[in-house]
Amino acid sequence: MASRLRRALLAALVTASVVVPLVGAAGPGEVPAPKPVALGPVSVGGLQERYAVNREGIRAAERMAARHGDRRRAAALRKMREPGRHFLSFDGRDGGRAVEVYGDLGRARRIAVLVPGSDTGMETYARLRNGALALRQRLGEEAAVVSWLGYKTPGTVGPEVLTTGRADGAAPRLDAFVRELHAAKPRARISLLCHSYGSVVCARAARGLEAEDIVLYGSPGTGYDDAGQLHTRATVWAGRGRGDWIGGVPHVRVPLLVTTVGFGTDPVSRRFGARIFDAGDAGHSDYLTPGSAALASMSRIVEGRHA
């Protein structure tokens, strides 16, 4: 009986710690969108054609959203198809998927792939884009940044954000994308920057991943006890800002009847064994803010320098 009470209490603590700070956040809406055109693997020579095909796909999704009466989604898609925006893939169905490039991918010697966390979708995509642009500006002309919204992120308010379920589904797609990117750019240095729930996705994809670095920031945990369990050749980094509320999340894993709640060991703890970088005073959504210590640290990691 005591064991059951303890498990129930820990589960309640995890739920309260994750959900309460962002009560009222909305998940992605179910807005109809066309099936995307099937595209082959990413290739440097075919980038411009790929960008053009996806721009038309975004335009078609915008029309469907407008006919559906969702003006907010239509407005977000209108911005996404503006001249100068480059998407490696786009699928507006089931909340939306998008992979966007910032910089010249064909000439890039260093590539940073941003993997976002909960409540990231078409309507909130600007937050991901702003962070990617800040990182790209910091890195300079020889680097490209890719924002990988390749999965349906969990809502901050909901049970899925407390388990590895969405991450388990996303991990094979992230692994396949990074392999494709590595094949197209075999000499480029690839780093994954994984925010919040995105750090769970990266951890599930880590085994065999074609990357030099896996950077966990604002992470609630990974579902693993330590970095060694990721079985990756990449250097695993972790950082948390002093202003990030996620530092108060209990680092536990609670087995329930049909799932396990929580993500275990704190990634910035000595026990986890990641290399720690300075994230300054960053709040949960502030890591890629221009001028921040966290942005400077992660830029140095992408460049292959010590943070």
Supply the pLDDT for residue 158: 75
CA separation for the pair 17, 219 (Å, rounded): 13
Task: Flag whether pLDDT at 234 surpasses 90.
Answer: yes
Asked if pLDDT for residue 20 goes beyond 70, the answer is no
* pTM more than 0.75: yes
pLDDT at 5: 38
* Mean pLDDT computed over 72-94: 96
Strand order in the sheet with 189-195: 86-91, 97-102, 143-149, 110-115, 189-195, 213-217, 235-239, 275-276
**Which pLDDT belongs to residue 157?**
74
pLDDT(87) > 60? yes
- Residue 269 has what pLDDT? 97
pLDDT number for residue 156: 79
Q: Which of 118, 129, 67 is nearest to 95 (CA)?
A: 118
Interval 290-304: pLDDT, tens? 999 999 999 999 999
Q: Which residue pairs from 16-25 have beta carbons closer than 8 angstroms and sit at least 24 positions apart in sequence?
A: 17/248, 17/249, 17/250, 18/156, 18/161, 18/162, 18/220, 18/246, 18/249, 19/156, 19/157, 19/161, 21/245, 21/284, 22/119, 22/156, 22/157, 23/157, 24/157, 25/119, 25/155, 25/156, 25/157
pLDDT (0 to 100) of residue 14:
45
- The least confident of 10-24, 81-95, 124-138, 174-188 is 10-24
Distance CA 286, CA 307 (A): 18
